[in-house]
Amino acid sequence: MAHLEIPFAVGARVWYSEAHVDTAYEPCPDCAGTKTVTATLGCGLSLQLPCQTCSVGFSAPSGVVKRSVFTAIPQLVTLGNPTMYGEDIYYELDGGGKVRSSELHLWWPASKEQCLEMVRTRTLQYEDQLRRQLASKRRDLAWSVTYWRSKVKDLRRNLEIAEQALVISEAKKEKTV
């Protein structure tokens, strides 16, 4: 007969907290909700560009950025009967509901304080991830500034060529008159 070891004893009291993820919206840190950013080029020309930080994919900027806030209320629970679903062992909780044993390892600290500390760590990790996403969007904006800067340079060069062509053709016209 196959012998299956359960990770926690039935009747064990553990600190457990589900991570509740709440979504909150904040004004965009780059455009302050105006949806546009002003890029000033070295030549003094100012360009109004759509803010990349608060636009998702190819959609227009929204002026707000989404952030998720982890909240958790640590509670002391008693693990009830284990059941197996697929590869995972779930415990029944005294207050009702089931909890996955792999999650219990994550949320099973020795004290309430440690439980809160784990949640704080998760929140910080998440915020860090969010900061990296914002940084990559700022890089996109930098790219678009570079694009427009080269565009201005091209247009200026074309203007010079056009002006020279005009001078030559006017000189020719004067000769023929």
Q: Which residues bind Zn ion (CB under 5 A)?
A: 28, 30-31, 51, 53-54
* Composition of the chain by helix, strand, coil, percent to 5: 40, 30, 30
- Among residues 112 and 138, whose Cβ is nearest to Zn ion? 138
Residue 64 Cβ, how far from Zn ion at the closest point, in Å?
8
Residue 7 Cβ, how far from Zn ion at the closest point, in Å?
46
DSSP 49: E
- Among residues 56 and 162, whose Cβ is nearest to Zn ion? 56
Query: How many Å is the Cα radius of gyration of the chain?
Result: 30
Residue 34 Cβ, how far from Zn ion at the closest point, in Å?
7
**CB-based contacts of 37: which residues, under 8 Å, 6+ apart?**
30, 31, 48, 49, 50, 51, 141
DSSP 54: T
- Among residues 30 and 92, whose Cβ is nearest to Zn ion? 30
